[in-house]
Structure 1
Amino acid sequence: MQLENLDAMNDLLKIMKVQNELLEKANEKLAKDVAIFKKKDYDMAAMKRAALGKALNIHK
């Protein structure tokens, strides 16, 4: 009985370790995706400002 419980706990720990690794990989990917999105958003805002400046004939 105790050996079965120990085996079950060991299996649970293995599953939790795999889940943790998957979460870490997902978090890394999400962080990269957010950084890419922020850069694209910043670039788009810069292009809009430049286009607006040209339309209003504003020079810096």
Structure 2
Amino acid sequence: MGTNGKMTEICAAMGLINMNHLDEILVVNERSYTANKDGLAGVGGLRLLSLMIPKNVIVNMWL
């Protein structure tokens, strides 16, 4: 069974507007990820996946 991947016009418009701020969004989201990773580092029984991402690569997980 497939899915209908169509986007509403309002969602598309919001996405286009946010493209102007993509660099800022990526920086904030990566900073949040790093803060969470560092804050959870000492929690016993918790293991986070390690990421080895080259600096010249943009990944979509920050979105």
TM-score range, shorter chain: 0.3 to 0.5
Higher normalized helix content (fraction of residues): 1
Scaled by the length of structure 2, the TM-score of the pair is 0.37
Point out which structure has higher relative CO (alpha carbons under 8 A, 6+ apart).
2
Scaled by the length of structure 1, the TM-score of the pair is 0.38
When Rg is computed on C-alpha atoms for both structures, the one with the higher figure is 1
